[in-house]
Amino acid sequence: MTRALIVGVSGQDGAYLARLLRARGYDVWGTSRDAAGNAFAGLDTLDIRGEITLRTMPATDATAVAAVFDEAAPDEVYNLGGQSSVGQSFAEPVETWQGIVTGTQNLLEAIRRTRPSTRFYSAGSSESFGDRGDAPATEDTPLQPKSPYGVAKSCAYWQVATYREAYGLFAVTGILFNHESRLRPPRFVTAKIIRTAHAIAQGRADRLDLGNVDIVRDWGWAPEYVDAMWRMLQTAEPRDYVVASGESMTLRDFARHVFAEFGLDLDRHLHVDPALIRPNELQVSRADPSRARAELGWRAYTSGRDLVKVLCDGYLADAGDA
């Protein structure tokens, strides 16, 4: 039985990946910074918590990483840990850097020193590309990050590439564009929009406060994206891949579609708050995921209006209103 170690199993992607790997017959181990104190709500929502071996492992602690590697002896490692909010990275740049960069370094070193045959996946981000205008980003697009989060993810990208080239490790980065699900924490803007629209529809709120509503993003469905992660570790040769739907829309349009799902007119409730505009905001994010389609046989099937409906239906189901 193949054994996988998911670093950051308590997050959105970690929970969906754990479910996918269990369905494929894997022995799945997962870590968080404090397994005893973590609610693992995502694993509970997907009803798989009892199927995962859970361990405490701050990835920033090299000793803790080595101890878990010795115990788990994983065949595959999926590095999904670290701070995951772009907005929060401006408020906590040091923690963001340490969680992403130091964590990735410790994992790569543990593989190099103890289990060099282990295959390693690292979660990259479209934020590393910065503003490309209307030009879709590919695997060959230069990295020009504009946020502390993007800078840290860019450094981790080069760490993985360096260990792959210098030590011959099977180490890859999936450069994922925005992907959403019912497991998104409330601090993420997509979850905020859906939660607020529901509250307005119930008469519990009247206004949606957003920052820059003209930003353009490529949004996809998270359960589909974790399949791309798995496929990347099943190839004959390690390569990095852009993982995206290839379809982008403005935040305003995303919110408009959400409000329409609740029978609401966004223009009657939207309030643009300058205080919510991030420093150095990434304006346009577009992707060309053709390499993933051609070489991994992967594509995103849920995007645009279909994604909005799936997200709203999932929220209502969790709220007991479905």
| Share above pLDDT 70 across residues of the chain, in percent, rounded to a whole number | 100
For 109-125, the pLDDT digits (tens) are 999 999 999 999 999 99
Structural domain contains residue 36: yes
Residues 228 and 211 in one domain: no
Q: Give the mean model confidence (pLDDT) for residues 266-290.
A: 93
293 found inside a domain? no
- Number of Cβ atoms within 10 Å of the Cβ of 150: 23
Same domain, 120 and 237: yes
Give dist(CA 295, CA 218) in Å, integer. Answer: 21
Alpha-carbon dihedral sign for residues 63, 65, 66, 70: positive
Q: Is residue 290 part of a domain?
A: no
Q: Which CATH number does the domain housing residue 54 bear? A: 3.40.50.720
- CATH no. for residue 272? 3.90.25.10
Average pLDDT score over residue span 64-92: 92
- What total number of domains does the chain contain? 2
Read off the pLDDT of residues 114-164 as tens digits, 9 standing for 90 and up.
999 999 999 999 999 998 888 999 999 999 999 999 999 999 999 999 999
Q: How many CB atoms lie within 10 A of CB 1?
A: 6
Query: What average pLDDT does the chain have?
Result: 95
43 shares a domain with 190: no
Tokens standing for residue 29? 């181990």
Sequence-ordered alpha helix ranges (H) in the chain: 12-23, 41-45, 62-72, 86-91, 93-97, 103-114, 148-167, 189-201, 222-232, 251-261, 290-291, 304-319
Q: Is the pLDDT of residue 13 over 80?
A: yes
Same domain, 96 and 210: no
My answer on whether 7 and 140 are in the same domain is yes
Handedness of CA 45, 48, 49, 50 (dihedral sign): positive
- Interval 179-233: pLDDT, tens: 999 999 888 999 999 999 999 999 999 999 999 999 999 999 999 999 999 999 9
Residues 201 and 236 both lie in one domain: no
Contact 8, 34 (CB under 8 A): no
Residues 157 and 201 in one domain: no
In a domain, residue 75? The reply is yes
Mean pLDDT of 78-83: 92
Q: Which residue has the tokens 């981000």?
A: 125
Contact in structure between 130 and 145 (CB atoms under 8 Å): yes
Are residues 133 and 188 located together in one domain of the fold?
no
Q: Do residues 102 and 238 share a domain?
A: yes
Q: Please check whether residues 64 and 165 belong to one and the same domain.
A: yes
For residue 173, what are the domain limits? 3-179+221-243
Burial of 269 (0-12, 13-18, 19+ CB in 10 A): middle
Token representation of residue 167: 């030590």
pLDDT average, residue stretch 40-55: 96
Count Cβ neighbours within 10 Å for each residue of 236-251 and write b for 16 or more, e otherwise: eebebbbbbbbebbeb
Task: Say whether both 132 and 154 belong to one domain.
Answer: yes
Residues 292-316, mean pLDDT to the nearest whole number: 96
Global pTM reads 0.95
Burial-class residue 93 by CB neighbours within 10 Å (0-12, 13-18, 19+).
Answer: middle
Which pLDDT does position 86 carry in this prediction?
Answer: 84
CA dist., res. 119 & res. 172, Å (int) = 8
d(CA 91, CA 46): 31
Same domain, 131 and 188: no
Active-site residues: which are they? 125, 127, 149
Whole-angstrom distance, CA of residue 284 vs CA of residue 249: 9
What is d(CA 261, CA 224) in angstroms, rounded to the nearest whole number? 22
Mean pLDDT of 173-180: 97
Averaged over 50-76, what is the pLDDT?
A: 97
Band the pLDDT of 83: cuts 50, 70, 90. confident
User: Using 50, 70 and 90 to split pLDDT, how confident is the model at 75?
Assistant: very high
Q: Could you tell me what percent of the chain has a pLDDT over 90?
A: 88
Which two three-digit tokens encode residue 269?
């409730």
pLDDT, tens digit (0-9, with 9 covering 90-100), for 62-71 = 999 999 999 9
Is residue 295 in a domain?
Answer: no
| 268 located within any domain | yes
pLDDT of residue 322: 55
Query: What Cα–Cα distance (Å) separates residue 14 from each residue in 63, 203, 219, 259?
Result: 22, 35, 18, 29
Contacting residues for 113 by C-beta, under 8 A, at least 6 apart: none
Whose tokens are 């998104």? That residue is: 184
- pLDDT band of residue 55 (cuts 50, 70, 90) is very high
Residue 4 near residue 75 (C-beta atoms within 8 A): yes
- Give residue 299's Cα distance to chain centre: 16
Mean pLDDT of 54-58: 96
